[in-house]
A and B are shown apart, each in its own frame.
Chain A
C-alpha cells in the first residue's frame, strides 16, 4: 500500500533527519525519544478527532458521472496476490461483546436492508477516488446481532492478514457500511470481496477488505498500519 521511496532518497532523508535524532518512527518495538513523543501526540490527536467527530455530519456525496472508473487498486501486495475467498462457503465470524455470534453467510447479509452511497475514498498518501458502494449499514448490523454498542472499538480481521479497528461512534455513523457491491455488482477479489468496510468519514486504510471476522471490544485492537505508526483515528 505504501509506496516506499528509493534507497537513495531514503538515505538522503536520513541525512536530513539526523540532527533530530531517530525521528523515523520505524521500529515500534524499540521506540526512541522521538518515537515516544510522536506516539503521545498521535494519541492526543485521536482524542481531538473523537471530540471533533459529529455523528450527524455526512461525508460529501457525488453524482454517478463523477465515479472513478476503473477503480484504483491498493494494498501492501500487488494486485495478483489479492486473496480469493470462496463466496459459497463464506461466513462472517463474530466475536467479542456480541450476543448472537452465529456467523453470517453472504446470502443472509443480503437479506438485510441495503444502503448505497457515492462517496470519495481518500488515501493517506494523498490521492483519492470516487466510487459507489452498497451494503449493510454497520450500525444496523451491530444492533441486529446484539452488539454492546457502549464498547469502544469494532475490530476487523481480513483474509489477507490485514487488520484494523474503528471507534464505536464512527461505526454507528449512517454512512459506515459493510459493503457487498461496487457499482451495483458484487465486489471483486482485489477490491474487497466478499465483504469490506466502507467508511467515508475515515482515510482509505481504515476501510479493510475481505473481512473474515468482526469483533466488538474494549481492548484496543490496533491495526496493520496503525501499529507501524499511522494515526489510529484517521478521521476525515
Chain B
C-alpha cells in the first residue's frame, strides 16, 4: 500500500480546515494547450515545459494536465481516473461503476511519491465498457449519472476524467511537481492541455485542481465566473450536481450539456460568450436568427466574468475568451501544430520557430481539429 490509512485521515483533516470542496475559492491561473493537426502523438514533456515557464502565474496550490490519445491500446474503453480518500472509498466507487460498466482493468495510476506528494490521495484508474451498448447519447447520460454519483462522495471521491482515450492528471502542487509526480513524460497524446493554479485561499484538495472533465471534454480555465449562481441553477434542471464547488466545474458541465444536445463547437462558443445584442442586430439572416435564439434559449449558460479556457475534446481543441477579453490567451502555429498559452513566452519556449502568434479576441472561439482523430468525433 502506497498511501496509508492514517495518512489519508490526516489528509481529510487538512481538507476540513481548508474549506476547499465546500466553498468556491477564486483563483488566478496559467493555461496552455497544443494539438497536432495530423493526429501525431506527442510526449507530455512539452506541455510540462510550457507550464513550467509560466510558474509565476500559479502558486503551487494546484496543477494538472489532460491528454487525448494516450491510451491507444484501450481506445474504446472508458478510462475513469479517480481521486480517492482510501481503499474503502475505492470499493464504494467500484460498486457505483459496476452498476453500469464492466471493469476490464483497474489499478493505481503510476506515480512518484516524493516530498510533499507523499501525502497524495489514492489515485486510481479503471478501464470500463458500458454494460448495455446503446446510442451515443445514452452513453452520455450514463457517464453523467455515474460521475454525479461518484462526486456525491466528494471530498472523499471525485472523478478526474472518464472519456475514451482521455486522461486527466491533477493535484495539489506546482505544474512541474505534478508533471513529475504523474510521470507525464510516460504518456503520448495528440492533444494536451495544462493548468497551474493561483488560488486566493489555502486549498488542500486535489479535486479542486484543473482540468475538469466530464465525458468527452476536459477544460482548463483561468478566471472567475460571476454567473456561477445562475449557471448552477440552470444546470441543476438537467441532472448536474455541482458538488466540486469550483467555477470550472460549471464550465465543464455547461459545455457537456450543450454537446449532449448535439451542438457544434462554434455554437457552444456562441452560448458561452454570445455576441452583444447590438452586434447581433447587425448580423445577416439566418445567422442573426440563430444567434438570437441561442442567446435566448441558453442565456443562463452565458459565462459572465473574466475567463480564458482551453477545451480538449475527442479530435480537437477549442480556446475561448470572455466577451470583454479580461484574461490573456495567445495562440501560435507552427506547421501542423497549434499552441495556446496564457503567455506567448510559453509557446516560444517549446516552439522557437513559431510562424504566427496572435492574441485571441474576446468572445471568438478558436477551434482546431486533428485530421486523424476527427473521424471518431462523437457529434
The finding on whether chains A and B are genuine partners in a shared complex, rather than unrelated, reads no
**Interface residues in chain A, defined as those with a beta carbon under 8 Å from any beta carbon in chain B:** none
